[in-house]
Structure 1
Amino acid sequence: MKRLGAYSIMVLIITIILPAVIVKTFSFVPRDQVVGQGFDNELTAGRKEKLNLIKRSNLIEKKSVEYISLYNPYTDTVSEIPLEEYVKGVVAAEMPAEFHIEALKAQAIAARTYAMSRMQKFSDGHPDHKAAPLCKAVHCQAYLSMEELREVKGENWIENYWDKIEEAVDSTKGILMYYEGKIIEPLYHSTSGGMTEDAINVFASDTPYLKGVISPYEEEAPKYKTVTTITGDEFINKVKSKYPDAKIDKDNFYEKMRLIERTSSGRIKKLAIDKTVIEGSDLRELFNLNSTNFTITYDQGLNIIDIVTYGYGHGVGMSQWGANGMAKRGSTYIDILKHYYTDIEIR
């Protein structure tokens, strides 16, 4: 009987008392809760720091994507503006709202990508306006607030086109362009004159995604072709005022004017007036021409010079009128962007 009693006590201890002690002593937590509570045996210090870093970087990225710092050179002030609202103001200022919706979408993505590239590149402020990485003038991208749009374009424009601008931006919200995993700097211009230009010929930087491409369907652009007419005397006097060593007059005009180099797109890269070599961009600036894609003809009998210019702007990147022409013929914003920006990824 004594043995039986001792045996019964041992069974009682093993089956009831000991499990109760174990349950009371240890706290069992589901595995998904362990990580959330920072359980040291499950989550090493290095792993915790990595998770904290991810959390911090996500917060930084979220903040930078939502707002941009914009410098106003007219008032010398800086504003914090929601990114997508900023993009709407850029699209409204930079591209005619009458354009096809797919062209406006392409412009929205280009404007957004350009803004984010500037925010990354000049996080401490642009060298030309150190208060912010972006400005609202054409130095960066033109931007108009709703109040400015009402003042500049009028209430009828707001009623007729603002919904279209919002649709173009909202339907492409957050979409950017990348080249080899990095945000690109997507330059754009009004009208190329039939072919865009390599970046290296304008900015002396061989950017792989800014290569010259055919730009069809631009003939409707108001500045596709422009003729500037001046007298021979006006032309010669203006040249000599900037290049006094150039010995040119009405009698030796064709002898002294020589084309040295054109780019692959047909733009004038260099020409010589007498022994003075001049960049095409300098002559463009001197005579306030729309682009460097120009020809000069001189009628000595009438003493009249015609400078015929094709396109409007530097010619690098997306042609806005070309984008509209492509869109009107069925191209999507993806087709447009991948045509003008070589080998880029859109996501």
Structure 2
Amino acid sequence: MKKFALFLMAIAVVFMSSAMVETASADTQAKIPEYIRVGLKYGNSAVGAAQVFTKGAITYGFYNGTTFVPVYTGSQGQKATVKKDDDYHILLASFGDDLNKGITYINELKGKNVNGFLMYDGNYSVVTGEYSSKAEADSAASNLQKVLGNQNLTVVVPQKAIYVMADQKLTIKTDKLVARPSNGFIELDNDVTYRGELWFYRQEGSDMTVINNLPLEQYLYSVVPSEMPSSWPQEALKAQAVAARSYAVANCLSSKYAKYGFDVTDDVSSQEYKGYAYGGGKYAGENPNATKAVDATKGIVLTYGGKVISALFSSHSGGYTESSENVFKYPQPYLKAVPDPYSMGYTESLDNWKVTYSQAQLKDILRDQSVDIGDILSIEVINKSPSGRALSVEVTGTKGKYTLQGEQEIRNVFNLKSAMIKSIDVLGEPGGLGTIWVSNGSNVVSKKTQSLYVLKGDSTVGMASERPFVISASGLSQLNASNGVQSVPDSFTFVGSGYGHGVGMSQYGARGLAEKAGKNFVDILKYYYTGITVYDTLNDKSL
């Protein structure tokens, strides 16, 4: 009976394990989107108008759920302008779903010197005019009625709409216009050519948000060479492809840019993405070596606890990566600091860098933060992470102190390559130039002691010494740091290592692991991301 019971238990365990594996793999596959939406212009960079072009033809329309609804297709190789429409129009005639009848009517109106154009709001109509007020449109409609006879004219009140100015001008009543190229490539503003579609999204109180919607794998064709040199080893490029794919998938599932209608940006706020080509076609945004790495790792992502991770990475760790809580304030079990000698030895400007600021420059830097603490006397790292990155930096001045908190603030305020500050060297320490406060007749001002001239006991005038004697209420005394003279350094030099926030994979480290240690992309990823699974969703297995 015990054997039978154990047998049943064994069967139960097998079925439970199988069900768990199937559920996990099904969930993971379900979370890998086929497409990704990249924000190109949004917020303060949103546009009122844009120009689009393809060597093929562009079809303009919109999505009804997941179904693309085509409205109008332009001519082959034609440039067109997309522009927001906040105007009043005069409705001349409606033609249901018959686009050609609308175009015929527009040609007829030309004979009457009336400039008509298409409007689509579920049906095709012909309208005229771009008026800023209803009163202006009503007045124009009254005059136009005399030209067109007894035709009944009505004024179309502005809604969210977008103009397309191609071989035909039309306004489409939609808040999200889609421009779909027939050949899969579309250029924006004579600059960047993108794969996939361009979306023009009208949001409340804004210009148009511009979004590139394209297959996830094609997006990675540009991200990988934008983030890592394509001449680097294939295994490093593969590691970059998997990290970038994982980051993209994680952000598709939970995006801070959802309110704008896209998943990721095209810059380092998410991942660098240059499109298929840029500079009006002068420069390639893709590279065959990087494309090879993306294709070789198709469907492979990093998971932790069954979920695709936000696989952060940076350029150069400075010899030790960083834990996420010391940079982004949230702990992640898979983003823990690890020693990283593999990043070192490639470029001296990242292994060991220096940044020097004069007194005037430092005052300007602090003034940009709305901070005035007088002359800068010292800058000290007062708290470091276990990896060696500065977490708190205290700046002491003649008027007070100011403390910078956190890796990002320290790095950004002082414009450092990283917060791995090894030392802060000072030029002009004690024994150098001092400062004294004197009256100039109306105000008390600070002066360099070596810029002061004094009347000496022998009635001659000469330059003051570093620590002059003064007569005070208590008698004759020599000034020192405790009673009036303080040394004001001429400059401060930050000495450090690394580039970027240091969390997750170091790109130079990935190169080093591939070149120096002979590791493959799976080894590289498992080294930098603690406790993760490298998961192949296409073949339903861990690597």
Conserved 8 A contact 1:92-1:144: no
Summarize the alignment of residues 1-347 of structure 1 with structure 2, pairs less than 5 Å apart: 61=30, 65-73=33-41, 76-122=209-255, 126=257, 130-148=260-278, 151=281, 153=283, 162-218=287-343, 219-221=345-347, 222-239=349-366, 242=369, 244=371, 246=373, 248-249=375-376, 253-254=377-378, 257-274=379-396, 275-279=401-405, 280-294=407-421, 295-300=423-428, 301=432, 303-329=490-516, 330-347=518-535
Unaligned runs of 5+ in 1: 1-53
Per the TM alignment, residue 150 of structure 1 is displaced from its structure 2 partner at its CA by 8.2
**Aligned residue-pair number:** 277
**Greater share of strand:** 2
Once the two structures are superposed, residues 71-124 of structure 1 have per-residue CA deviations (whole angstroms, 9 ceiling, x without a partner) of: 2126631222111111111001111111111000000001111111011113xx
Give the letter aligned to residue 170 of structure 1: D
Cα pair distance change 1:244/1:65, threshold 3 Å:
closer
Give the letter aligned to residue 67 of structure 1: Y
Once the two structures are superposed, residues 125-149 of structure 1 have per-residue CA deviations (whole angstroms, 9 ceiling, x without a partner) of: 725x621112222211111222228
Per the TM alignment, residue 152 of structure 1 is displaced from its structure 2 partner at its CA by 6.1
Give the letter aligned to residue 107 of structure 1: Q
Give the letter aligned to residue 246 of structure 1: I
Conserved 8 A contact 1:232-1:303: yes
Cα pair distance change 1:171/1:237, threshold 3 Å:
closer
Conserved 8 A contact 1:297-1:305: yes
Cα pair distance change 1:99/1:153, threshold 3 Å:
farther
Conserved 8 A contact 2:37-2:262: yes
Once the two structures are superposed, residues 11-30 of structure 1 have per-residue CA deviations (whole angstroms, 9 ceiling, x without a partner) of: xxxxxxxxxxxxxxxxxxxx
2-side partners of 1:327 and 1:196: how far apart?
17
Q: Percent same amino acid at aligned positions? A: 34
2-side partners of 1:338 and 1:230: how far apart?
40
Cα pair distance change 1:137/1:240, threshold 3 Å:
closer
Conserved 8 A contact 1:113-1:177: yes
Root-mean-square deviation (CA, aligned residues, Å) is 2.6
1-side partners of 2:354 and 2:532: how far apart?
36
Conserved 8 A contact 1:240-1:246: no
2-side partners of 1:186 and 1:149: how far apart?
30
Per the TM alignment, residue 223 of structure 1 is displaced from its structure 2 partner at its CA by 2.5
Where relative contact order (Cα < 8 A, 6+ residues apart) is larger, the structure is 1
SS of residue matched to 1:176: strand
Aligned equivalent of 1:4: none
Conserved 8 A contact 2:238-2:297: yes
1-side partners of 2:306 and 2:366: how far apart?
47
Per the TM alignment, residue 183 of structure 1 is displaced from its structure 2 partner at its CA by 0.7
Moved more, 71-80 or 313-322: 71-80
Once the two structures are superposed, residues 225-267 of structure 1 have per-residue CA deviations (whole angstroms, 9 ceiling, x without a partner) of: 2211232343245335536463544xxx24xx34321001101
Per the TM alignment, residue 308 of structure 1 is displaced from its structure 2 partner at its CA by 1.5
Moved more, 213-222 or 305-314: 213-222
Once the two structures are superposed, residues 159-195 of structure 1 have per-residue CA deviations (whole angstroms, 9 ceiling, x without a partner) of: xxx2211210111000000001111000000011000
Give the letter aligned to residue 530 of structure 2: T
2-side partners of 1:100 and 1:149: how far apart?
27
2-side partners of 1:179 and 1:237: how far apart?
45
Unaligned runs of 5+ in 2: 1-22, 48-208, 433-488, 536-543
2-side partners of 1:61 and 1:244: how far apart?
50
Give the letter aligned to residue 336 of structure 1: I
Conserved 8 A contact 1:243-1:276: no
2-side partners of 1:136 and 1:238: how far apart?
29
Per the TM alignment, residue 303 of structure 1 is displaced from its structure 2 partner at its CA by 2.5
TM-score (norm 1): 0.73
Conserved 8 A contact 1:223-1:310: yes
1-side partners of 2:318 and 2:283: how far apart?
27
Conserved 8 A contact 1:266-1:293: yes
1-side partners of 2:527 and 2:425: how far apart?
34
Give the letter aligned to residue 100 of structure 1: P
Cα pair distance change 1:235/1:187, threshold 3 Å:
same
2-side partners of 1:135 and 1:245: how far apart?
36
Cα pair distance change 1:148/1:240, threshold 3 Å:
closer
Cα pair distance change 1:134/1:244, threshold 3 Å:
closer
1-side partners of 2:352 and 2:274: how far apart?
28
1-side partners of 2:392 and 2:35: how far apart?
43
